[in-house]
A and B are shown apart, each in its own frame.
Chain A
């Protein structure tokens, strides 16, 4: 069975500092990986996804993530965060045999001025 672990429940960071949100997955088959962001009282918005090919994936709002198969990780990074990046971030996994996303528990990014 697949699973996703987001070890950090909350990450505080100062504005304009870099940030990394960690995501590790467990699966016995090839996977597809996603990062979503959720702002207060809203649904989920796709930041980026890895399906195949280049392991470095670039997304919206200056975010990027790197797929590392040997470490089963898909960490999300941004070189310089803004106050507006304050939100909850979810890592998710799926595969060819499922029609569903398995989500991690989420990481709350808190950007301070």
Chain B
């Protein structure tokens, strides 16, 4: 079974631009979560989607948004990029939504904002 895939793997943008990251979950998984990883703040939860509905959102500004499609694929968008948005963005999928569910992570998209 194929794992979680994320595209693109690397991205360079400049301040003020916007970016869209894509995540394809493991086949049959209906929940997708997004995390931001930085050296300073560590791993922080962005949001979680289940059956196209956002179930939970982390403490990030409104510039960060996401959505999930009917095939469970998910995208996250960051508008008006800031230097501090440079990070590794990780997507994780699980069969269902819930604290006990094991989340399987993709390789991440490394975003550099110049």
- Which residues of A are in contact with B by a Cβ distance under 8 Å? 31-32, 34, 36, 41-46, 49, 51, 90, 92, 94-106
B46, closest chain A residue (CB): A100
Q: Could you say which residues of chain B place their CB within 8 Å of the CB of A95? A: 99
Majority-rule SS of A interface residues: loop
CB A86 to nearest CB in B, in angstroms, measures 18
Besides A43-B105, A46-B104, A99-B99, 17 more A-B contacts (Cβ < 8 Å) are A31-B99, A36-B105, A41-B107, A43-B106, A44-B105, A97-B99, A98-B56, A98-B99, A99-B33, A99-B50, A99-B56, A100-B56, A101-B35, A101-B43, A101-B92, A103-B42, A103-B43
Given contacts A32-B99, A49-B102, contact A100 B58 (CB under 8 A): yes
- Which residues of B are in contact with A by a Cβ distance under 8 Å? 4, 31, 33, 35, 42-45, 48, 50, 55-56, 58, 90, 92, 97-100, 102-108
Of the candidates A99, A105, A106, the one whose C-beta lies within 8 Å of that of B55 is A99
Do A100 and B45 touch (CB < 8 A)? yes
Do A43 and B56 touch (CB < 8 A)? no
A34, closest chain B residue (CB): B102
Do A43 and B90 touch (CB < 8 A)? yes
Q: Could you say which residues of chain A place their CB within 8 Å of the CB of B99? A: 31-32, 94-99
CB A113 to nearest CB in B, in angstroms, measures 27
CB B44 to nearest CB in A, in angstroms, measures 8
Q: Could you say which residues of chain B place their CB within 8 Å of the CB of A32? A: 99-100
Given contacts A43-B4, A43-B105, contact A99 B42 (CB under 8 A): no
Do B43 and A99 touch (CB < 8 A)? no
Of the candidates A45, A94, A98, A105, the one whose C-beta lies within 8 Å of that of B105 is A45
Do B100 and A101 touch (CB < 8 A)? no
